[in-house]
């Protein structure tokens, strides 16, 4: 009995001694006598987080980091030596040296790899990993909470956690913000940052370098404006804290059983993720950007973006486009202006709600003023263009003034904060009541839609005159007159001279429409002339269709139609000249394909996607191309892609998105199943063609004519097999040097392409979704079986007649196919 008491007393005294000297019997601390090497870890008290050495992805380099302990997918949330990897893990050692500084060094060379820059010294220091994920250094005999000598939360990497502060210490000038990794295997700081901008009233931005890419609006007392879907969350609280020394945003956990984080991906996408034990995966709660309307200042000054509209950009009520012609071309950079100029001091204010608050960098705020005092102060200052309250939780809570143009607004249902914008007094409603709220409605009323469509139809019919009439007169065809689009008319003599009398040395190629020639005008401008062949059965229709579809379309990724020539029997279209000709001449040429490294190919894919999104969503009418393929992608001098050949395109109006035809046109290998078999074409038909095109660009192989020793599938089928077996990288063209920094991008592009070529059109994404997927790291849905993945005659022979025109050895364009 006496022996037992003595041993117990010894253990108690030993425990006290270890505690006093910063040495803990638990495994959540490091003291000055311990060394952490590869395989050693410390774990936070509740076993939420773990610290040790790890290798990201397939990297051979090691890093000291912190990750979730009970998450089966190792997910680092902090990296100590992110810019200086451990090359020789056998000699790497982490220790806490006297004075209270963590030191990571190479024992074989005694070189310092990383150290905590602890400014204060301690007599009995110890480092501890907390259940918040924060690694801290403390003085053993200091019982003051959060009196840390150093903490990892002051140096975040790509992850923002609850209990972490994001913002500024105004005394020291230190900013806490998160920055992306360079790649999945390289945690050194990438190009993107997620930070609290305090230039004006605080707001959150995602930057690339110093350039703002995306923005959450200013804090409104509950959340950042622009995130109405992020309501009060039962798992954590959030707040913005400001005084004379600090400005920071912070979240604090209410339910530690919920594992949640905010991270910034290598491509600059911010994501709120929650771990779901049942499915053993991270689930995305929301993304920033969520869609194209989160693109910073997309619609210019006083413009508003509505993802439900096509085009997405419009002007705020009582504003008009600054540049009408630019607006028609979907160039919204000029923004909007008040339709009635201001007349200070006789101006009034009109209220707008249901929007993300404008950029708050040029603002002034006062927390003590109520809303009426805020209005009066803004009215007295002619440079004040708008005002609002600071806190939506109570009427009259603080005052916020904007100065200059109002930038980066988007329509958001459920956003209740009201901004009052300075307007001319004549803009008051007829009842004369000041301050009446103009509610921005995301969807037009049914009557408004009908009126708008009728007006558009009248305008469309009224303008379908000159070119169509001239085609009828010159071509002897009895068709209805087509639209006069005020297209410049070139004299035959001018075109003949420019092409050296259509010399064979000037000939660029030939398709179903006819030959194409290079020309040089008298002013030195290079042009491409598409000359209608006299023997072409469908040429006159394609000629008229191409003029109607693209004469007024303006996008950097669409070939520009400069004019036409209609004289005698001649029918010609005049385009800007593309010095690098078409993509297929590079992609399928053994020598030239080596010039297409992965960055060039990704640039081309991204450009095609944006051009197609413009046709489907942002042009005046929805346009389905119906013959998207590599030979119809032209390349300018800087290898920028331009979609060309709109002879088979169809334009839709209103909400029309699909149609049926008994004449299928397009190219074998690129046509979607529902179109080739049933004659049903839609926006998703183009999406299918785009998916095929992406797989061809990635692989350097044609879909049709593809052969593999192990199966009889085409390129789509081969890509599908590799995807299912986790071997998608084997699809990549041998001419592409697969650098580790491109691996995730290549895998993502192949995955997106397979989503585009899925059998069912309903499963395929829209082109706006494709553009978003190409520029983000969000979770992609699993791809389903593609359509036409086996190389065979998909049409059969029963009850069909067809005429085809050969345009290359493996590419056949259908010009007529009567459906069953």
**Known catalytic residues?**
627
SS3 category, 800: coil
SS3 category, 26: coil
DSSP 358: P
Instruction: Select from 128, 123, 124 the least CA-distant residue to 150.
Output: 128
Q: ∠ CA 512-515-518 to the nearest 5 degrees? A: 140
150-151 and 159-160: which strand pairing? unpaired
Provide the angle, in degrees to the nearest 10, between the axes of the packed helices 683-699 and 767-774.
30
165-169 and 246-253: which strand pairing? antiparallel
Cβ(533)–Cβ(539) below 8 Å: yes
Provide the angle, in degrees to the nearest 10, between the axes of the packed helices 743-756 and 715-724.
120
Q: Give the whole-angstrom CA distance, residue 33 versus residue 22.
A: 10
Q: ∠ CA 14-17-19 to the nearest 5 degrees? A: 110
Instruction: Select from 81, 98, 170, 92 the least CA-distant residue to 137.
Output: 98
Burial class (CB in 10 A: 0-12, 13-18, 19+), 658: middle
Q: Give the whole-angstrom CA distance, residue 754 versus residue 394.
A: 50
Q: For residue 437, give every residue at least 6 positions away whose Cβ sits within 8 Å of its Cβ, in sequence order, or none.
A: 350, 351, 352, 353, 418
Q: For residue 35, give every residue at least 6 positions away whose Cβ sits within 8 Å of its Cβ, in sequence order, or none.
A: 93, 94, 95
State the DSSP string of 613-679: HIIIIISSSEEE-S---GGGEEE-TT--EEE---TT-EEE-TT--EEE-SB--EETTTS-HHHHHH-
Q: Give the whole-angstrom CA distance, residue 69 versus residue 53.
A: 13
Peptide bond into 642 cis (omega under 30): no
Q: What is the enclosing helix (H) or strand (E) of 29?
A: strand 29-30
Q: Give the whole-angstrom CA distance, residue 520 versus residue 496.
A: 10
From residue 707, give the alpha-carbon distance in Å to each of 155, 172, 704, 727, 747. Answer: 53, 65, 9, 18, 22
Peptide bond into 345 cis (omega under 30): yes
Residues making up the chain, counted from first to last: 820
Which residue matches tokens 């290598």? 266
Token reading at 202: 């605080």
Q: What is the largest CA-CA distance in the chain?
A: 122
Q: Give the whole-angstrom CA distance, residue 614 versus residue 608.
A: 10
Which residue matches tokens 């950007």? 289
Burial class (CB in 10 A: 0-12, 13-18, 19+), 727: exposed
Q: Give the whole-angstrom CA distance, residue 760 versus residue 688.
A: 10
Q: Give the whole-angstrom CA distance, residue 766 versus residue 616.
A: 9
């Amino acid at each position: 009995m006496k022996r037992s008491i003595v041993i117990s007393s010894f253990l108690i005294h030993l425990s006290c001694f270890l505690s006093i000297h910063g040495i803990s019997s638990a495994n959540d601390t490091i003291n000055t006598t311990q060394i952490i090497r590869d395989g050693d870890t410390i774990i936070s008290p509740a076993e939420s987080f773990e610290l040790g050495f790890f290798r990201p992805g397939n990297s051979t380099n090691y890093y000291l980091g912190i990750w979730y302990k009970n998450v089966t997918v190792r997910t680092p949330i902090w990296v100590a030596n992110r810019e200086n990897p451990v090359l020789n893990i056998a000699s790497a050692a982490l220790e806490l040296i006297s004075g209270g500084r963590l030191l990571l060094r190479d024992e074989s060379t005694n070189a310092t790899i990383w150290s905590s820059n602890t400014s204060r010294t301690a007599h009995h220091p110890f480092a501890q990993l907390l259940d918040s994920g924060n690694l801290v250094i403390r003085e053993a005999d200091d019982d003051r909470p959060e009196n840390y000598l150093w903490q990892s939360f002051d140096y975040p990497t790509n992850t923002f956690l609850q209990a972490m502060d994001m913002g500024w210490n105004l005394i020291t000038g230190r900013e806490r913000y998160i920055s992306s990794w360079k790649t999945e295997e390289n945690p050194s700081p990438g190009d993107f940052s997620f930070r609290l901008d305090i230039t004006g009233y605080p707001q959150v931005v995602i930057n690339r370098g110093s350039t703002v890419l995306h923005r959450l609006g200013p804090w409104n007392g509950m959340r950042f404006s622009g995130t109405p879907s992020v309501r009060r969350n039962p798992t954590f609280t959030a707040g913005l804290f400001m005084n004379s020394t600090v400005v920071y945003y912070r979240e604090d956990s209410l339910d530690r059983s919920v594992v949640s984080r905010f991270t910034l991906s290598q491509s600059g996408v911010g994501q709120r993720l929650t771990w779901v034990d049942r499915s053993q995966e991270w689930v995305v709660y929301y993304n920033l950007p969520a869609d194209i309307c989160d693109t910073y200042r997309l619609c210019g000054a006083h413009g508003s973006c509505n993802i439900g509209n096509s085009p997405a950009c419009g002007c705020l009520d009582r504003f008009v486009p600054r540049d009408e012609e630019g607006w028609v071309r979907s160039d919204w950079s000029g923004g909007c202006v008040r339709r009635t100029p201001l007349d200070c001091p006789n101006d009034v204010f009109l209220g707008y709600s249901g929007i993300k608050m404008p950029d708050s960098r040029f603002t002034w705020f006062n927390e003590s003023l109520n809303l009426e005092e805020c209005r009066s102060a803004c009215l007295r200052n002619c440079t004040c263009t708008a005002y609002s309250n600071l806190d939506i939780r109570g009427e009259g809570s603080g005052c916020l003034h904007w100065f200059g143009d109002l930038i980066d607004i988007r329509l958001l249902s459920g956003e209740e904060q009201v901004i009052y914008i300075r307007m001319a007094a004549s803009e008051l409603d007829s009842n004369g009541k000041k301050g009446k709220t103009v509610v921005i409605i995301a969807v037009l009323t049914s009557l408004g839609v009908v009126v708008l469509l009728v007006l558009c139809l009248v305008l469309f019919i009224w303008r379908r005159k000159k070119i169509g009439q001239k085609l009828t007169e010159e071509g002897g065809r009895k068709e209805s007159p087509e639209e006069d689009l005020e297209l410049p008319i070139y004299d035959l003599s001018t075109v003949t001279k420019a092409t050296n009398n259509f010399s064979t040395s000037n000939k660029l190629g030939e398709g179903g429409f006819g030959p194409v020639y290079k020309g040089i005008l008298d002013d030195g401008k290079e042009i491409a002339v598409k000359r209608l062949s006299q023997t072409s059965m469908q040429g006159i229709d394609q000629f008229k269709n191409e003029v109607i579809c693209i004469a007024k379309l303006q996008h950097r990724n669409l070939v520009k139609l400069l004019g036409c020539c209609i004289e005698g029997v001649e029918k010609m279209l005049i385009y800007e000249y593309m010095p690098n000709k078409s993509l297929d001449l590079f992609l399928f040429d053994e020598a030239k394909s080596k010039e297409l490294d992965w960055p060039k190919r990704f640039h081309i894919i991204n450009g095609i996607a944006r051009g197609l999104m413009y046709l489907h969503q942002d042009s005046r009418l929805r346009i389905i191309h119906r013959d998207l393929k590599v030979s119809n992608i032209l390349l300018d001098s800087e290898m920028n892609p331009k979609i060309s050949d709109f002879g088979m395109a169809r334009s839709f109006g209103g909400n029309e998105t699909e149609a049926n035809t008994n004449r299928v046109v397009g190219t074998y290998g690129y046509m979607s199943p529902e179109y080739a078999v049933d004659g049903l074409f839609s926006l998703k038909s183009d999406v299918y063609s785009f998916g095929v095109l992406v797989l061809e660009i990635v692989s350097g192989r044609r879909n049709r004519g593809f052969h593999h020793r192990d199966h009889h599938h085409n390129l789509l089928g081969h890509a599908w097999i590799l995807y299912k077996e986790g071997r998608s990288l084997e699809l990549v063209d041998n001419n592409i040097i697969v650098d580790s920094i491109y691996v995730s991008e290549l895998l993502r592009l192949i995955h997106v392409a397979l989503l585009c070529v899925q059998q069912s059109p309903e499963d395929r994404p829209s082109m706006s979704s494709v553009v978003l997927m190409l520029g983000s790291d969000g979770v992609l849905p699993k791809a389903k079986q593609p359509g036409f993945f086996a190389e065979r005659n998909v049409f059969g022979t029963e009850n069909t007649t067809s005429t085809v025109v050969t345009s290359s050895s493996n590419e056949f364009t259908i010009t007529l196919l009567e459906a069953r």
